[in-house]
Amino acid sequence: MARPRVVLGVSGGIAAYKACEVLRGLTETGHDVRVVPTASALRFVGAPTWSALSGHAVSDEVWDDAHEVPHVRIGQDADLVLVVPATADLLARAAHGLADDLLTSTLLTARCPVLYVPAMHTEMWEHQATADNVALLRARGAVVAEPAVGRLTGADSGKGRLPDPDEIVALARDLLAGAPTGADLAGRHVVVSAGGTREFLDPVRFLGNRSSGRQGYALARAAVARGAKVTLVSANVGLADPAGADLVRVGSAGEMRAAVVDAATSADAVVMSAAVADFRPTAYAEDKIKKTPGSGVPTVALERTPDILAEISASRSRPGQVIVGFAAETGDASGSVLDHGRAKLAAKGCDLLVVNEVGAGRGFESEHNEAVVLGADGSVTSVPYGPKSALSHVVWTLVRDRMADT
């Protein structure tokens, strides 16, 4: 199969150096990337670097190789155009259809998805001119990612930081896989839980699980891309923060419950994809439990943790709120994976339950998943094996359809 063709546009901001990591992330995952920098971008990172990392000659001039008509051909042949970083100046020129260099000409000829990843100072991002330009680009079908919040150039901090390169690569791969680009969740507030909780026995040891948080982060990323305001409640995850989501970090099941219940008060939907511990130790040892000769094996008494999914399903904070649960299951002598899933759906009282069989490269610690989404209305939606982003978009489409009925 031909490698997906990506045009990586680089405009003139200090974050241009991070685009090198985006380029490497795309090439290492099998993408054919051609870099089209602006003249200003080449003052931050030189053409030899882009050429070496991409394997293609690099130029910002429409006059180079004129017989190949590069200002037309590059955009026509692309499967995705990705601009990292997208400065305020580049967004303005793109929004108003200027074609004064190779990159802006490429943007005008592209008929594939176009993804802009902004990076600039907070004041520039919040200026009405930039807001209008972003709105215009989005109205035309382009995807403009939300910038991250954090350290900017110099001592400044705020919204406008370039998202983590791994996050940008994930966004690009989602678009290449056909992820929806519309804003069908605009105006909605959704809450997503992710990761695995930890219940400590002592300062060193805890009861935990294998959840990596990848599915929850994919859900958050997909919801942001579809226009939602997203609160992500994350437990013990080592992943790049999804740009555009409000992140709440927690550790234990009790902390997860408090954060989810609080965020759910203003949410249109809550998706509980986190692996929350079912049990926790009844007592916490302030000092490390020692293994001393003749002391024997300590006994650990356990108690149940709060059932967050059942609680928020039973006492919904607002009319029409959609609640989604996840069930990582294995079959046993008492029933199949779907048998256990249907029983859990009835017991929890949620609207949708995503049932996936864990193991064999699915579920925990994997970038792929396979699931069946059971609805309280009797619906059954099978999602074949594929990236967790694909499952995420299926879930949000099912949630959106139920929101439309409220």
Please name the residue ranges forming H helices in 29-69. 47-54
| Cβ(198)–Cβ(276) below 8 Å | no
> Which residues, including other chains, have CB under 8 Å from residue 315's CB and lie 6 or more apart?
none
Question: To which residue do tokens 């939300």 refer?
Answer: 146
Which residues does the annotation mark as catalytic? 209
Nearest to 264 by CA among 307, 318, 319, 210: 318
Q: What is each CA distance from 150 to 78, 162, 216, in whole angstroms? A: 32, 9, 22
- Torsional sign, CA 105, 106, 112, 113: negative
For 113, phi then psi, to 5°, come to: -60, 140
End-to-end CA distance of the chain: 44
157-161 and 148-151 beta bridge pairing: antiparallel
How many angstroms separate the CA atoms of 202 and 289, rounded? 7
368-375 and 352-357 beta bridge pairing: antiparallel
Please name the residue ranges forming H helices in 15-163. 19-28, 47-54, 70-77, 88-95, 102-109, 122-126, 128-139
Class of residue 140 by CB neighbours under 10 A (exposed 0-12, middle 13-18, buried 19+): exposed
Class of residue 10 by CB neighbours under 10 A (exposed 0-12, middle 13-18, buried 19+): buried
